[in-house]
Structure 1
Amino acid sequence: MSEVRVILHTDKRQALLREAQAEIRENQGRIPAGDFYARKLSAAWRRARGTRAYGPGEDQDDIGEFSLERFRDLPVTPRESLKAQPLRYAAVTPTEASEYYETTGTTGQPTPTPRLAEDTIWNTVSVAEAWRPLLGADERVVILLPSDVVPVADLVSGVCEYLDLAHIRAYPFATGITGWDRLEAMWRTFRPTTVFVAPGVALQFTRLLAQRGQLDELSSSVDRLACSGGGYTYTAAAGPGPSAARVGLARRTQGRPALPGGEASPGGRHCLHRPHRRTRAGRPG
């Protein structure tokens, strides 16, 4: 059972779920009302004032009550400051959080990211409703990431359960637990149609399958790739040979995900793209 279902055990959280669903469905497919983003920024601002970094005290100026003018004038927080004293910027302690992550992907200094049940509900519902038109009722989803210690794994799993889609998590770099051979065997049985994948994992797996002569067969069931990380969209070539097994950069998304939605906190954007089929000559077919 996913975290999303587990945390909905109180009337208050059930009400929050219904509120998120109503708001997202009301605004989907149209430009929200003029005060929509101001209200969202105001709520985030109030939470920020509860932190040591932006609230009163510690010989610093309180950021005060929210206004768009104050928001525009607020200086940028250097990433170095966040890395050096991360819990100064957290609105709750790890104990008070519903979940606790340390994000940055696979490189760099981790950033502690405590998350409330409210965050999980809003993130899951908003992304699921944005992706709903793109994912059919009979999808078989694989979540293919280097490790389970990333927020995006829980997000995609929660979205799949919310949409009632069959899904499986696979972490091939967790040696002795998953591994490439087990991943290949699972792929033959499950026959995934949609793959949420980190680009580095996609590169490694497609290269391995190409070397084994299995890439054509195992890629035939896949209709969609959703690549996480950095706001990039990637496509995976599905033809034979090492050159066709590369994962190539298709385009940068100009700071926004190609697939609507995305996490409201660090953890990467998700861009849905259909893999190009290639002929024997290695050109799009």
Structure 2
Amino acid sequence: MANGSLDQHLYPKKVNAILSWESRFLILKSVAAALNYLHCGWEQCILHRDIKPSNVMLDSQMNARLGDFGLARLAKHGPEDETAVMSNVTNVAGTPGYIAPVSNCFQAFTTKTDVYSFGMMALEVACGRPPHVHVEEEESLMKWVWSMHKKGQLLEVIDDSLQMNSKLMTDEVLQLQIQQVTRVLQLGILCTMPDPSVRPRTERLLQALKGDWSVSLPASRTGSSPLPFPLTSSTMYNTSSSDSLLVSDD
């Protein structure tokens, strides 16, 4: 592919090679669409089992394609195409940091383990940090984002390379991008919850990224009671004092 893989753009060797938020968001939507097709669009469910930035390939127009199906396996569809389970698993497969906890413990792979991997990648795309890098008191990326959410400071985890002068865009574009990045972070948290039943189906995940922003999170990472989110980030996170948020492709 002309532009290599997503990880090469998230961690570029050139300092000025910044992947814009608009591009990141479109890439995530494309991968979510691919994952939804794998899980729901064929007579059998396809479990990818290794979703990560280095397996997302980009063409000359920065359109994303999900690649590397070396670990992929077929499974029968479960109820509502959300609980397809691959049986006869003899070993844990995937990449550390992107593997759901249940896969590590019980060697079970379902559509919800793919959703976990996607959620971890979504957090990485928004934060600009790989999941295995420990930050702030030895917290993993996932735990760090969750702790910042609980503090009401979720937008502070955004990739520093996206911190640009908001005067470069209109207020409408700025607010749209703030809303998008907030929802990506919320979806990333939801997709990486320890309880697989709390993670969204790929169809619901794709709907959210396309504009249906009715996202809810449990009150804690160990619970399952929904905690509704408002439709805009401004009622939860104070962004009025910041003049340096997201930059568009322009």
Q: If you compute each CA radius of gyration, which structure gives the higher value, 1 or 2?
A: 1
TM-score (ref. length: structure 2): 0.29
TM-score (ref. length: structure 1): 0.26
Q: Which has the higher contact order (CA 8 A, sep 6+)?
A: 2
| Structure in which a larger fraction of residues adopt strand | 1
